[in-house]
Amino acid sequence: MDCLFCKIAAGEIPSKTVYEDAEILAFYDIEPQAPVHVLVIPKEHIPSVDGITAENSEVVAHIFETIPKIAAKLGLSGGYRVISNCGADAGQTVPHLHFHILGGKPLSLHMA
C-alpha cells in the first residue's frame, strides 16, 4: 500500500523512533509544532479515527495505555496534549491513524 506511515512502520522510510513494539510505533514529527512533538501510530493501516471499529480498537487501547509511558520517557512531567486530526476539516494530511503528543512548554489552546 502506498501509505507514508505504513512505510515508516515497515522501516522503509527512516524515522527517529521513540518507542516501538509489535503493534505500535512512536517517532518524532518531521515538522515539530512544539518543543516535543511525537506521533504514535498503529503498525496496521487504519485510515483515521473514523476507521476505528470493534475489530481493531484493541491497538487503539494499546496506544493509549502506552502514551503515558512514552510521555514519561520524553520527560513531559509538566503535562502534554494528545491530538488526532480526522478528515479534511481537521487538516489531516496523512491518511494513517496517528496521535500527536505535544509538550515541552505551556501550550496554547490551538494545536501547539
Which sequence positions are flagged as catalytic? 98
Restricted to residues 32-51, the positions that interact with ligand 5GP (CB under 6 A) are 39
Number of residues that bind Zn ion (CB under 5 A): 5
Which amino acid, one-letter code, is at 105?
K
Q: What is the dihedral of CA 33, 78, 17, 68, to 10 degrees?
A: -120
Restricted to residues 14-33, the positions that interact with ligand 5GP (CB under 6 A) are 15, 27-31
From the list Zn ion, ligand 5GP, none, partner contacted by residue 3 (C-beta under 5 to 8 A by kind): Zn ion
Query: In the β-sheet with 99-103, what is the strand arrangement from edge to edge?
Result: 17-20, 24-28, 36-42, 99-103, 80-83
The CB-of-59 to ligand 5GP minimum distance in angstroms stands at 18
Cβ–Cβ under 8 Å, residues 30 and 93? no
The CB-of-66 to Zn ion minimum distance in angstroms stands at 19
Which residues, including other chains, have CB under 8 Å from residue 3's CB and lie 6 or more apart?
A: 45, 95, 96
Q: Which three cell numbers stand for residue 34?
A: 512544539
The CB-of-15 to Zn ion minimum distance in angstroms stands at 13
Contact positions vs Zn ion (CB under 5 A): 3, 5-6, 45, 96
Contact positions vs ligand 5GP (CB under 6 A): 4, 15, 27-31, 39, 85, 91-94
